[in-house]
Structure 1
């Protein structure tokens, strides 16, 4: 494998990326609406978890617990549907605006550019690459804010039970982030290596195919066959490396999640046994802890998948 393929230090410029987004005129009002709906979902989820904890603790008052629980559960479903619709509309509008920007740029490129480059290569810039950018915005960049807000909201509610319990969660939760950061960089490095080696293989095959008569006339068939096999082997090795990285990610995440769950349960059990938490608070704490773990895990998985 090429040196530093897994942990390359430079892949591009964030400054140029955000400058490009500024020129694309993103649908900011729709994005703000999506963030607002996401914040509302987070608040409703907190109330749903607390009423659910009360039910599990044996509190079955119709007006005090049951009806509020049903109300917030249905409200969460309705707002979730609105959030999904808003997210899809944002994706579609971002794609449209980015395509407009790229097409306008393509039309105004100087003639020298088309003399030195194949115009067909621009097709993926207008189609596939644009959808990758919109996915990055909606699944990686914006969730930074929604995940942070939800996490702070739930940690604040846990802190209202006992501040020490909140700090216990703060210590345990970053494990997912650290693991996903390392795996994300590894997958990004491997994906970049695969793309480069596949591009080298494609270019070599295309060049030899166009000059097959010359190869035949010079009698270099065996030499070209060996060179082609070497490039194919390099692409194969890069793909195998990717499979190893993906395969290791599953058990690593599973072990980390199991250890997190054990630590969370032991911490809550210790506070409950000393009387610092009552039964309802203990159940609510566990519910918030699981939600926080899932929120961070989902975000980290989205980050790792996008990097890969």
Structure 2
């Protein structure tokens, strides 16, 4: 949801499912022992605080220098020490309990996000998912650690205070209990208003986070397009929405504190006035009146905590609904598949069709062709013909909507997913890198230690060793976010070195040289030749030099196969391929690279 869009659920009464909410908390596997210890300490803290007014009553009623006893002072001091210690440890344990739940919930969501299929990310904005892991989990942590302890002690304090007061003077207690409905009548409407504001703020924050993630991750596109002004305006829409909600929240908070103060002062005046009459008549002692005032505070103050707890609890349930929805999404089926055979089998597409959810018709329509083992198969065709989608289906990022991708005689979906992807080396046009060092990126994804010799050998075969050795920190050089500190050709060669280190059986190259200049392309082509040697290779290319020597070329047009053969066969028999070769594959004019250009390109 964009920041400037109203939240359709912001004014609705929350319909959170309590069972689902507590089921989510159970998934976090909370420490019930820690919770019990924190609860017990809160109970001790509150019970001790309930007896302090009684000590005070006795002190006031019998106050004189001669009546002061060391034991009396020690008892009061000891009570304060016990209350302070129990309260401190209780708060610490409740916060530790909440931090453990926060850690567990974030772990559950992070694991889930990593195991969701790629199709999930086609529909949801990354910023909203980030907000779910960071902000929504924080709301639940706040309720379970900071507010839960106040709620528990508040309930105990109110019940205990009322019980003790009834034993002291039931008439004064009835006057005192006017505070409860009066306070709740003020706090609950304001609490509901605060809840609606908080839910809207959650949604607006998620939308604003999405804008920040989109813009900052593509800051170079923003600057090169001169889009700072419109992006600033788009961000300011979210900032203004959050500002308006913040002002609404401030107005509600500005009402709560003064009204509570008014209630407390009114009750104190009433209690002191009525209590004064009771004292003058002898029905109540001065010490009991002081005790009543102290118990008044112990009843009034927790009411705000209890109301705040329920308000935040509703907000937490809203956040939990978002998390439950994410955790309920179907994952990729990673376990339970058949183990891959040791020997390499042939790959074949059998009437494969595919359409994206919400797309404009099929991207692939009954595509069938074999991918010979140990040979190079090139995919050629206009943009939008489904070439990259075929790669995604073979990688099992998506499932075909029709037909099958066969490995031997079995659909690839029957095999163990991690084993299947471990046999594939994928080098894309973008050659994405992760933040970290060159060493980290070459060895990325491997579940074993990689020796320096292996690393250097892979880099050498990818023609990456020359520029790496010239860097100040060599293999420990930081590449920056998405590898921005390296050139396109350097990123490509690191991606090729990564694929070499995986030693894949099936190699997929997605326009791996289309964005490079001629010098960089020359070196990358040599690296690709090393990578392709002896492997089953599927390659997408726009340049003739990449596909002219392919064992098989498959021409795709509008999602269908319109020709299969070698370069010579298609050039002779397929008019669209011949036209495509002349115009886009530079069939008419082949670039010739001199040897000195190739040597110079090693450092590009």
TM-score by length of 2: 0.43
Tell me the CA shift for residue 35 of structure 1: 1.0
Q: Residue in 2 aligned with 1:128?
A: 135
Trace 1:131-142 onto structure 2 (pairs within 5 A).
131-142=138-149
Q: Contact between 1:176 and 1:300, CA under 8 Å: does it hold in 2?
A: no
Q: Residue in 2 aligned with 1:109?
A: 116
Tell me the CA shift for residue 86 of structure 1: 1.8
Tell me the CA shift for residue 36 of structure 1: 0.8
Inter-partner Cα distance in structure 2 for 1:120 and 1:7? 24
Q: Contact between 2:176 and 2:271, CA under 8 Å: does it hold in 1?
A: yes
CA deviations over 1:155-184 (Å, ceiling 9, x no partner): 111111122332322222332233222112
Q: Residue in 2 aligned with 1:37?
A: 41
Match of 2:290 among 279, 283, 288: 283
Higher-Rg structure is 2
Q: Residue in 2 aligned with 1:147?
A: 154
Tell me the CA shift for residue 133 of structure 1: 0.5
**Larger RCO, structures 1/2 (Cα 8 Å, 6+ apart):** 1
Q: Residue in 2 aligned with 1:68?
A: 75
Q: Contact between 2:96 and 2:145, CA under 8 Å: does it hold in 1?
A: no
Q: Residue in 2 aligned with 1:190?
A: 197
CA deviations over 1:97-139 (Å, ceiling 9, x no partner): 2223323333332332133224454333333322221111233
Q: Contact between 1:172 and 1:260, CA under 8 Å: does it hold in 2?
A: yes
CA deviations over 1:2-52 (Å, ceiling 9, x no partner): 799985323644443222112222221111111111111112112222112
Inter-partner Cα distance in structure 2 for 1:92 and 1:22? 15
Match of 1:100 among 101, 107, 122: 107
Inter-partner Cα distance in structure 1 for 2:167 and 2:128? 57
Q: Contact between 1:95 and 1:130, CA under 8 Å: does it hold in 2?
A: yes
Q: Contact between 2:31 and 2:97, CA under 8 Å: does it hold in 1?
A: yes
Match of 2:258 among 230, 233, 251: 251
Inter-partner Cα distance in structure 2 for 1:161 and 1:66? 23
Match of 2:61 among 36, 57, 78: 57
Within the alignment, does 1:161 sit opposite 2:161 as a pair? Answer: no
Inter-partner Cα distance in structure 1 for 2:111 and 2:233? 45
Task: Name the SS of the counterpart of 1:26 in structure 2.
Answer: coil
Inter-partner Cα distance in structure 1 for 2:104 and 2:241? 38
Match of 2:270 among 263, 269, 286: 263
Q: Contact between 2:101 and 2:141, CA under 8 Å: does it hold in 1?
A: yes
Within the alignment, does 1:46 sit opposite 2:50 as a pair? Answer: yes
Q: Structure 1 residues 3 and 246, CA, compared in 2 at 3 Å: closer, same or farther?
A: same
Match of 1:86 among 84, 90, 93: 93
Task: Name the SS of the counterpart of 2:130 in structure 1.
Answer: helix
Deviates more, 1:198-207 or 1:164-173: 198-207
Inter-partner Cα distance in structure 1 for 2:302 and 2:53? 14
Q: Residue in 2 aligned with 1:23?
A: 27
Q: Structure 1 residues 21 and 114, CA, compared in 2 at 3 Å: closer, same or farther?
A: same
CA deviations over 1:202-256 (Å, ceiling 9, x no partner): 878979x97999999xxxx99x999999887666554443443333333323222
Deviates more, 1:288-297 or 1:267-276: 267-276
Which residues of structure 2 form unaligned runs of 5+? 1-5, 317-604
Trace 1:1-16 onto structure 2 (pairs within 5 A).
8-10=12-14, 12-16=16-20
Inter-partner Cα distance in structure 1 for 2:142 and 2:186? 22
Inter-partner Cα distance in structure 2 for 1:112 and 1:248? 47
TM-score by length of 1: 0.78
* Higher strand proportion (structure 1 or 2): 2
Task: Name the SS of the counterpart of 1:280 in structure 2.
Answer: helix
Inter-partner Cα distance in structure 2 for 1:199 and 1:122? 8
Q: Contact between 1:147 and 1:296, CA under 8 Å: does it hold in 2?
A: yes
* Higher helix proportion (structure 1 or 2): 1
